[in-house]
Amino acid sequence: MGTESSGKPVFFDPVRKRWPRLRAGVTLLGLTLSLLLGALVLSILASPVLPALHLPGVSFLPQGAHALPAIPVLSPERPLTRRERALRSEQIKLARVREANLQQWLEQPRKPGLTPNRQTLAIGFFVNWDDASMSSLRQNLDHLDMVIAEWLHLAAADGSLRENDPMRTAQVAAYIRTHRPEASIVPLVNNWNGHQWEGAKLARMLSNPAARARTVTELTAYVERHRFDGISIDFENVPPKAQPDFQRFMAELYAAMHPKKLLVSVNVPANDATFDYRSLARNADHLILMAYDEHWNDSAPGPISSLPWFASVLRQRQRDIPLDKMIVAIGNYAYDWQKGRPAEERTFEEAILVAKESEGRIRLDPVSLNPTFEYADDNDRIHQVWMLDAVTAFNQMVVIRSVQPRGVALWRLGSEDPALWQVFGKPGALDAAHATQLGDIRFPYGVDYEGKGEILEITAQPQAGSRTIVFDSKRGLISAEQFTVYPSPYVITRHGGAERKVALTFDDGPDPLYTPQILDALRQAGVPGTFFIIGVNGQMHPDLLRREVDEGHEIGNHTFTHPNISAISATQFQLELSATKHLLASTVGRHSLLFRPPYAVDAEPETIEQVRPIELAAALGYLVVGMQIDPDDWKRPGVDEIVRRTVEEAERGEGNMILLHDSGGDRSQTIQAIPRIVEELQQRGFRFVSVSELLGRSRDEVMPLVPPDSAWRTWLDGAAFGVLNWSAATLHWLFLLGIVLGIARLLFVGMLALYQRWQQRRQAFDPAYSPTVAVVIPAYNEEKVIVQTISSLLACDHSRQFEIIVVDDGSTDATYQVARTAFAEDPRVRVLTKANGGKPAALTLGMAQTEAEIIVALDADTVFTRDTIAKLVRHFVDPAVGAVAGNTKVGNRINLLTRWQALEYITSQNLDRRAFDALNCITVVPGAVGAWRRELVERVGGFTDVTLAEDADLTLAIRKLGYVIAYEDEALALTEAPDTVRGFIRQRYRWMYGTMQAAWKHRDVLFRRRYGALGFVALPNVIIFQVLFPLISPIMDLQLIGSLAVAAFNHVQHPDEYSPDALWQVLFYYALFVTVDYLAAVLAFSMERKESWWLLVWLFWQRFFYRQLMYYVAIKSTMTSLRGVLVGWGKIDRKATVQAAR
């Protein structure tokens, strides 16, 4: 009886037609989508160059923000005044004395240095505030043993410090560690506030022991926290009275850092009598002599570091500083003096450009051996420029190598003559061959701007320059240099500059919340806008692109994913532009010639790395649109501040493009600022125009229509983008739907569980009720556990004697023999055996052997507590009760997997049964512990084998008859959970597939009023949260991982302008779900009075492995149901690891 199948299993397809048809349909759909997307990819890859829009030449270039003035030639015959002649005569006399001393010093024999076998250190000073410094570091890092980086500043007299750019610091440190790990990284701290050296503040700090201690502590902590190699002190304008305090500070700093093997260096003027060099040398590893600024910006014009002066101060400092602590710092920059004004500091490149544009003649002053030239500016004011270049560095290196100090340092990376690297940081003597290598001059760092406006055009490529070198072999020095061809960098010409005209431009959109509001604001103000869109945003919201065009605005290309274009390959950059181009063509039927690089740095390039993408964009036919009026609205400084900054920058005439943002974060301040910006500027006489009008062109010229012969390709692109858009939107809404449904379910279940708890406490049972009871145990290969299971049953309390029926379902081990032998003498136990036919058949056979009113069923690996049977049976006093589910717990919590299962039983299965008990819609009385009214089991046909979840099938069948399915939380059963991943997946696959079968079999109850909560709550819960939810949960996780990946990508690309708003939104929803999940778990544990709360420690980690196994099970079960194959019941190996019930 019961060994034959009772019908065709649910989902079984005996003719095997369902799966081939499904597979053919999916394959056809996949091929169609693949062809569509493939056509889009090919279209993007083969994107032609846009039609060129030739810009007018610039006949007059007014002085712009980055432009060097056009300067007439200075006549060399200008007569000197009497005062100038006298001053020149004194300078020449002094220089000749120094030159004689230099010659004498060079000719005398040198004593070997204190460390003749130690390699001279090559050190470069780095600054965050100049992109050229980073360019130089990248190109020349291999020449350096140490990088001293200006990263810290004295913030206040209390000794606190300020870091100037933490993000940039982290990037630079990571770059050095990656590309030259052996190089030391030493941060520099100074007392520069961005405008001046703060000597008075420094003196107050130095005079206060507590402030000194704070500075020492913060410096030490900073160096240790970032794993740097030491600290470099650069306190300048130190008042003479503060010198003793300065020496005390250095002693305290050295005492703190030296035991930790951290380097301490101090930067000192090369020739300042107020400095006690000997005292400082005792409390530092290195003294860095700043052997430059012989003449400085506030002095009279003169050589910055004449070679006689340079040799003289080195000779003096040799008496004070041990050579193994001496670092000689050389400069490489220029001072531009104008009579009556402080000198302006220039980089070597800037000085050369001034000489080139003014047609100035650079000469090497024969006395100082420093280059110099003169010029007159456009107001006929005379300028005198003194420089330090590769030639001065060569001569200084000759002097330095004769001294053999510990090292040589360069102030600074990014301002230097690039030819310097032919000799700097290289060992060996310098000779004529090395001097000759300095002849070629290139500009590898900077960019020269001309004209006015923000539409950028590259009008000249970098050109190499040359100079002739005269080497004096007698002295071993370069005695003369002559520039024969001036080098030149990239020249970028600005277009679109116009008086009292401004264009509103918006980056990073479209955004479904903010872009419509901005369009409304523009319409109300009656002004045009230009929207530089990110392709991926435009793909998600094509309707907004169409609205922008329909309302007369212009659209520009802002790449597809908003990368840092100077950090990506040329191929990726082309794809970024092409993808957005095809999106626009397929959405609005137009191309756009306007392109704005992401991030302000890339939009106003200052280094070659930043120019190259601009050059490539221009080659593709784009007009590169920069910006000069940038109120930083993305930082949300406040509406008033956005308006004030915009108006001030427009009034200064710095540009015509107003940069605002319509996406990438909260843009409510921008929206509020727009009408006020328009009103303020219009009142001041400004007129709002489009970018095309600034160029003197029409909208159709900068946004040409797609040619008619490309209509079919545009339609295909549109269809492909539509598929991508639908896919992305589906992922987004599935994520939100999953979060919302998950939270709603947890709240709903939690409230119902509380209500059931309250009802349960008020429930009373008749102690006189004592029906006949039979316990049926189906068993297959359970020899390890069967004795313990039966023994726990025999120990159970019940007012009447009950019988135990063990049905061995054709075990291949000794289950039958073990059970029969162990309980042969106990009349309460009967052991039967049958041919293998599955669990339902075994249960049916066992039930047929008894006339008991109540059937208690349990798995052969389960152990009952003493009162489990009594607690289950007492509910049947109510004739409306058809079945009772007990409280299953994991009895073998021996590893992480079993602990996670224990958590799931408590926080999910049992909590659900509590909640659904309140609505009488429990969907499964578990096979591990449940009791059934026998007559009802027989009425519905008993345990069937058409599903793998015979317990769920039977539960639903009895509930459909109108009976109550109750839950008894004190009827405890300890079951053996799988302790391996393989066993776990096998068990859950059977459960999941069986649940799907049962739900499908009883789908007729869905939304039927006669079945009440079973059709409106329980079965939808099974379908949504036990079947569909695990299927979409991977999408939720992928959405989170994708958001984190995109955020990390954007942060790495450009941390200064990164906005985490989108990431915070995703994290908020996810965190909210996890929080509610935790609260529901706490609630579940509060109802399980004997449980260990330590299990909750594992709940968070359960989400990152355990639930992923459930995703796999859900996918596998779904695929099996679609394939229509037969699935066996399967068997899990028992290990008898359940602890006996107490």
Q: Strand runs (DSSP E) across 934-976, as ranges? A: 964-975
Instruction: Give, to the nearest 10 degrees, the angle between helix 82-107 and helix 390-403.
Output: 40
Amino acid (1-letter code) at residue 193 = N
Residues 6+ apart with CB under 8 A from 143: 122, 124, 421, 424, 425, 426
Cis ω for the linkage preceding 510 (within 30 of 0): yes
Whose CA is closest to 343, among 295, 297, 296, 293? 297
- The Cα–Cα gap between 160 and 182 comes to 31
Contact 458, 611 (CB under 8 A): yes
Looking at the DSSP assignment, which residues form a beta bridge with residue 806? 777, 831
Residues 6+ apart with CB under 8 A from 957: 940, 941, 1002
Residues 6+ apart with CB under 8 A from 311: 98, 101, 102, 105, 106, 399
Q: Which residue has the tokens 């005062």?
A: 83
Looking at the DSSP assignment, which residues form a beta bridge with residue 687? 501
Q: What is the DSSP letter of 241?
A: G
Q: Distance between alpha carbon 453 and the CA centroid of its chain, in Å?
A: 34
Q: Which residue has the tokens 């109850």?
A: 1005
- The Cα–Cα gap between 333 and 340 comes to 21
Amino acid (1-letter code) at residue 993 = Y
- The Cα–Cα gap between 249 and 190 comes to 14
Sign of CA dihedral 220, 223, 229, 231: negative
Structure tokens, 467: 């100079």
Catalytic-residue membership of 661: yes
Structure tokens, 349: 């490149």
Catalytic-residue membership of 859: no
Structure tokens, 250: 């250095």
Instruction: Give, to the nearest 10 degrees, the angle between helix 131-140 and helix 166-179.
Output: 10
Residue 329 CA: distances (Å) to CA of 166, 169, 286: 26, 23, 12
- The Cα–Cα gap between 581 and 718 comes to 12
Other beta carbons less than 10 A from residue 641's beta carbon: 16
- The Cα–Cα gap between 516 and 897 comes to 51
Whose CA is closest to 742, among 1076, 1078, 1068, 1023? 1076
Of the candidates 507, 912, 969, 1077, the residue annotated as catalytic is 507
Structure tokens, 192: 């520069």
- The Cα–Cα gap between 97 and 107 comes to 16
Q: Would you call 922 helix, strand, or coil by DSSP?
A: coil
Contact 443, 488 (CB under 8 A): yes
Residue 729 dihedral angles phi and psi, to the nearest 5°? -65, -40
CA torsion 336-342-346-352 (nearest 10°) is -10
If 0-12 CB within 10 Å is exposed, 13-18 middle and 19+ buried, where does residue 2 land? buried
Q: Distance between alpha carbon 931 and the CA centroid of its chain, in Å?
A: 55
Structure tokens, 780: 């297959």
Contact 489, 443 (CB under 8 A): yes
Contact 606, 447 (CB under 8 A): yes
Residue 432 CA: distances (Å) to CA of 122, 471, 472, 986: 22, 6, 8, 81
- At residue 266's C-alpha, the angle toward residues 261 and 270, to 5°, is 145
Whose CA is closest to 441, among 413, 469, 468, 419? 419
Of the candidates 295, 383, 661, 1002, the residue annotated as catalytic is 661
Residues acting as catalytic residues: 507, 661
